[in-house]
């Protein structure tokens, strides 16, 4: 098999990782959708149905949680990699609603046999822990993501391949339920879950999931060897990464670009480009540090103009100005060479746009991103006011067509981060996208 997988090395397909450069919700779903015009395979590598990726095609809205954006292009294949945690019931529900919306799902979507399974006791543990006195409340999405990754790392998780093994599934659920019920009762006074009922529901879901299951690492490496191109669809964002984010106010997976290799089984040496997605300002949902947060009317205004409410949970997102020290950090951690700036149109009304260009701690300038969440308390943002354009951008389709102050705003981001702007998004629809020529050439993209 080794020879088979490396055979076509000289003509291996191109690869690019799409990674959130902030705290998630940067518009990754929309940008992946634009790229699937050219890329043949889309692979998710981390997270689970905590993600909510919005794609709008000719006014029709799709919100994807687990299913990669490739499913919306009939010629694309989508893969849910081993780094993802999958709730089979949520997955089947999502597939059902996509089919109901007229999307073909079947033979074009594969799930890794090594992905971890989320079970109801993961949600029970998360609920207990989020509400327990004395514990740090993260403000999670309540999907059981954290406890499922805990079980993975604790080497007591259930993988998709095990889910399909009915005998093993029964034993696993019986043992895990006994253990989790005892812990949850002792710590959080939770009501016990019924193992028998759980087994019936998940054995049934397993049979429906079976046709999707593959060794996706082999599938992806074979696709590359055959010259097919792959885009890795990141979920969450850099500042939510378990290692590099604002710990402990993070998710439990490797959301950064490195996760694309471990989360799919495609080697790091086969990753060509990392494309970071950033809003023209900043948002975060849930608790934790946010140095450039606006807690005033301006923040409320950004939230309204940007429709900043969670795609899945509906929670209002916190808003703030663009934070360049964090964006530089994100560019470093991910190796971002191309940057996509989304939601530029949300700033269309402003005559002046403050941007955080540095931090001050105890009156001294620093660029350092703190290791401790408490370290952010001391940070004071240093702002520079850039000229706004105070003109609509939603219908503009070329870089040259943008008002000069908007081009200057983008050039400033490029200069500060060292990454080049690849695309500019000026509205939620697939069509409201400006592609930069050098990026189109570099990635060998087809014209849209």
141 belongs to the binding site for ligand IMO (CB under 6 A): yes
Q: CB–CB of 30/425 below 8 Å?
A: yes
CB of 298: closest distance to ligand IMO in angstroms?
Answer: 21
Task: Candidates 99-107, 219-227, 238-246, 343-351: pick the segment binding ligand GDP (CB under 6 A).
Answer: 343-351
How many residues in the shown chain lie near ligand GDP by CB under 6 A? 22
Q: Is 13 an interacting residue with respect to ligand IMO (CB under 6 A)? A: no
- Interacting span for ligand IMO (CB under 6 A) from 35-43, 236-244, 295-303, 382-390: 236-244
Closest distance to ligand IMO from the beta carbon of 30 (Å): 11
Distance between CA atoms of residues 78 and 75, nearest Å:
10
Give the tokens for residue 65. Answer: 């949680």
CB under 8 Å to 63, separation ≥6 — which residues?
A: 52, 53, 54, 55, 311, 312
Q: Is 241 in the site for ligand IMO (CB under 6 A)?
A: no
Q: C-alpha angle 224/256/282, rounded to 5°? A: 125
- Contact status, residue 225 vs residue 251, Cβ threshold 8 Å: no
Structure tokens at 263: 């989360």
Site string for ligand GDP, 295-324 (x = CB under 6 A): ------------x---x-------------
Answer for which of 55, 89, 115, 138 binds ligand IMO (CB under 6 A) is: 138
Contact residues for Mg ion (CB under 5 A)? 25, 52, 311
Selecting among 33, 49, 53, 348, the annotated active-site residue is 53
- Residue 342 binds: one of ligand GDP, ligand IMO, Mg ion, none (C-beta under 5 to 8 A by kind): ligand GDP
Interface with ligand GDP (CB under 6 A), residue from 43, 338, 425, 436:
425
Distance CA 413, CA 341 (A): 9
What burial class does residue 357 get, using C-beta atoms within 10 Å of its C-beta: 0-12 exposed, 13-18 middle, 19+ buried?
middle
Among 41, 40, 39, 109, smallest CA distance to 80 is for: 109
Q: Select from 13, 47, 48, 52 the one that contacts ligand GDP (CB under 6 A).
A: 52
Give one DSSP letter per residue of 276-315, joined into a string.
Answer: EEEESSEEE-SSS--TTB--SHHHHHHHHHTT-B-TTT-P
Instruction: Quote the tokens at residue 198.
Output: 């759980």
- Cα dist from 39 to 35, 42, 168, 321, whole Å: 6, 7, 38, 33
Q: Is 53 a catalytic residue?
A: yes
Minimum distance between the CB of residue 218 and ligand IMO, rounded to whole angstroms? 26
Active site residues: 25, 53
Binding site for ligand GDP (CB under 6 A): 20, 24-30, 52-54, 56, 307, 311, 342-343, 345-346, 425-428
Binding site for ligand IMO (CB under 6 A): 20, 23-25, 50-53, 138-141, 143, 145-146, 235-237, 240, 251-252, 285-286
């Amino acid at each position: 098999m080794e020879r088979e997988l490396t055979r076509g090395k000289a003509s291996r397909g191109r690869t690019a990782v799409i990674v959130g450069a902030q705290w998630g919700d940067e518009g990754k779903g929309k940008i992946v959708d634009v790229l699937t015009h050219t890329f043949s395979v889309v692979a998710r590598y981390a997270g689970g149905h905590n993600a909510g990726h919005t794609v709008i095609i000719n006014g029709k809205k799709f919100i994807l949680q687990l299913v990669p954006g490739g499913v919306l292009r009939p010629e694309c294949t989508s893969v849910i990699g081993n780094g993802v945690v999958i709730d089979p019931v949520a997955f089947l529900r999502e597939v059902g609603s996509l089919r109901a919306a007229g999307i073909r799902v079947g033979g074009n979507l594969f799930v890794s046999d090594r992905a971890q399974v989320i079970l109801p006791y993961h949600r029970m543990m998360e609920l207990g822990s989020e509400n327990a006195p004395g514990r740090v409340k993260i403000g999670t999405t309540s999907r059981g993501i954290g406890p499922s990754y805990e079980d993975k790392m604790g080497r007591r998780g259930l993988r998709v391949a095990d889910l399909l093994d009915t005998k093993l599934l029964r034993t696993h659920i019986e043992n895990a339920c006994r253990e989790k019920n005892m812990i949850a009762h002792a710590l959080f006074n939770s009501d016990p879950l019924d193992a028998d009922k759980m087994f019936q529901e998940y054995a049934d879901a397993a049979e429906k999931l079976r046709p999707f299951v593959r060794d996706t690492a082999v599938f992806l490496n074979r696709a590359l060897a055959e010259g097919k191109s792959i885009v890795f669809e990141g979920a969450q964002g850099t500042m939510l990464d378990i290692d590099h984010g604002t710990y402990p106010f993070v998710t439990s997976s490797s959301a950064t670009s490195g996760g694309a290799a471990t989360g799919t089984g495609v080697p790091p040496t086969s990753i060509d480009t990392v494309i970071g997605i950033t809003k023209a300002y900043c948002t975060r949902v849930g608790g934790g540090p946010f140095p450039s947060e606006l807690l005033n009317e301006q923040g409320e205004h950004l939230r309204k103009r940007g429709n900043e409410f969670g795609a899945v949970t509906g929670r209002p997102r916190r808003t703030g100005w663009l934070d360049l020290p964090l964006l530089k950090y994100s560019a470093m951690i991910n190796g971002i060479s191309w940057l996509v700036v989304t939601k530029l149109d949300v700033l269309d009304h402003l005559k002046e746009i403050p941007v955080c260009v540095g931090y001050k701690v105890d009156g001294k300038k620093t660029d350092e991103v703190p290791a401790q969440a408490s370290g952010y308390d001391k940070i004071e943002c240093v702002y520079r006011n850039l000229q706004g354009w105070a003109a609509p951008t939603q219908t503009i389709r070329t870089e040259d067509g943008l008002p000069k102050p908007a081009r200057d705003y983008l050039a400033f981001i490029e200069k500060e981060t060292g990454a080049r702007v690849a695309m500019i998004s000026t509205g939620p629809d697939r069509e409201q996208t400006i592609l930069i020529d050098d990026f189109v050439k570099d990635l060998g993209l087809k014209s849209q």
